[in-house]
Amino acid sequence: MLMRIAVVLNEKAGTLADSDLGAVSTGIRTAFAHAGHTVTVSAVKPDAMVHAIRRALVARPDALVVGGGDGSLNTALNLIGDAPVALGVLPLGTMNLTARDAGLPLDPVDAAKAMARGSIEWIDVAAMGERRFLHAVALGFYPWMVLDRERARRRRGLAKWPAMLRAGFRALFRRHELEVDVVLDTDTGEVVRIRTPLLLVANNRFVEGEGPVPSRASLADGELAVYVAVAEGPFALLRLAAAVAAGRWESAPDIRFAACRALRVRSHRRRLRVAIDGELDYVVPPIEFRLLGGRLAFILPPPGAGRGS
């Protein structure tokens, strides 16, 4: 199927910042055009991404492809809403979690070549209130790490990964416990009061044993995966970090797991710090999570195109 494709690149994204922007843009344009697609490519600064995506959507393309990390992809997802536009991603960020799970090569030009001969499939979207997400929402110590990471980048000039490692070490010696009521949309509708340093709600469950980068085997299994840590204190948090680094999301003794299609998180706090697709935000509880099964048209590469390579 030939498409009209609008590509919007975050020119300050981690991978692109150290590359020849002109060469990468030309390679992406050539990859789509060579397959017969009509393509426009624009590269903008991070604070212009929202405007550039909105401007691209005004032209009513068949597909919008965003070059950036999971945060840029989340922005595009929420701007598209229910518009009849397929979404694609060129992995230019630090983690590129959804791009990895989609089976895309991590080189942006190779990813464009793979998508150019790929297909549009319907995948699951999850929602936290009215805001949608593709990967996960975390509460507890991880959002604090994101906050500390960004402070270190601004004040100390650290790169993203060193700043995150520093934040992870500092997080071991702080109290992050949340006391929340979790209401699962199950047959019993049970209410569980928990005290936890980490509550994570993922759009489909993580694969066991895949290592430190959380990976999903499917983008369309139709479930929310809820991971609750029961660790307390620096040594327990260190043990939890080791389990997560090994990809033991369901088998680790310090993590409780449940699958559902909706849940509510209640708290006595006036607002809660969250990380949604890796980006920091603040929300007022109660927080309603729900699965929007098969709601998003997404460009996937052909099988074997280079998952996470």
Pairing mode, strands 63-68 and 4-10: parallel
The answer to the question of residue 304 being in a domain is no
Residue that is last in its domain, among 89, 117, 145? 117
- Closest Cα partner for 111 from 93, 99, 95, 123? 99
Query: Same structural domain for residues 192 and 90?
Result: no
pLDDT at residue 187, as a whole number: 58
User: pLDDT tens track of the chain, all 309 residues?
Assistant: 899 999 999 998 877 767 788 999 999 999 999 999 999 999 999 999 999 999 999 999 999 999 999 999 999 999 999 999 999 999 998 889 999 999 999 999 999 999 999 999 999 999 999 999 999 999 998 888 888 888 888 888 887 778 888 888 787 777 777 888 888 875 566 678 888 989 999 999 999 988 888 999 899 999 999 999 987 777 888 888 888 889 999 998 899 999 999 999 999 999 999 999 999 999 999 999 999 999 999 999 998 776 544
Same-domain check for residues 106 and 166: no
Write the secondary structure of the chain as one string of H (helix), E (strand) and C (coil): CCCEEEEEEECCCHHHHCCCHHHHHHHHHHHHHHCCCEEEEEEECHHHHHHHHHHHHHCCCCEEEEEECHHHHHHHHHHHCCCCCEEEEEECCCCCHHHHHCCCCCCHHHHHHHHHCCEEEEEEEEEECCEEECCEEEEEHHHHHHHHHHHHHHHHCCCHHHHHHHHHHHHCCCCCCEEEEEEECCCCCCEEEEEECEEEEEECCECCCCCCCCCECCCCCCCEEEEEECCCCHHHHHHHHHHHHCCCCCCCCCEEEEEECEEEEEECCCCEEEEECCEEEEECCCEEEEEEEEEEEEEECCCCCCCCC
Q: Domain boundary residue among 117, 146, 176?
A: 117
Q: What is the pLDDT of residue 189?
A: 63
Q: What is the CATH number of the domain that holds 17?
A: 3.40.50.10330
One domain for residues 162 and 277: yes
Q: How far, in Å, CA of 164 to CA of 150, rounded?
A: 9
Q: How many domains does the chain have?
A: 2
User: Is residue 219 located within the same domain as residue 250?
Assistant: yes
Asked if 23 and 83 sit in the same domain, the reply is: yes
* Residues 33 and 182 placed together within one structural domain of the fold: no
Q: Is residue 306 part of a domain?
A: no
Q: How far is CA 77 from CA 81, 212, 255, 279, in A?
A: 6, 25, 30, 14
In a domain, residue 8? The reply is: yes
Residues near 260 by beta carbon (within 8 Å), at least 6 away in sequence: 184, 185, 186, 223, 224, 226
**43 in a domain, yes or no?**
yes
Please indicate, yes or no, if residue 300 is contained in any of the structural domains. Answer: no
- 77 and 170 together in one domain: no
Residues 93, 171 share a domain: no
Last residue of a domain, one of 56, 87, 117: 117
Based on the domain organization, do 91 and 138 belong to the same domain? no
Range of the domain at 141: 133-293
Is residue 161 in some structural domain? yes
CATH number (domain holding residue 208): 2.60.200.40
* Residue 93 and residue 27 share a domain: yes
pLDDT for 308 equals 46
169 occurs within a structural domain: yes
CB within 8 A of 206, min separation 6: which ones?
214, 215, 216, 225, 227, 247, 249, 250
Mark whether 145 and 238 lie in a shared domain: yes
Looking at the structure, do residues 281 and 153 belong to the same domain, yes or no? Answer: yes
In a domain, 125, yes or no: no
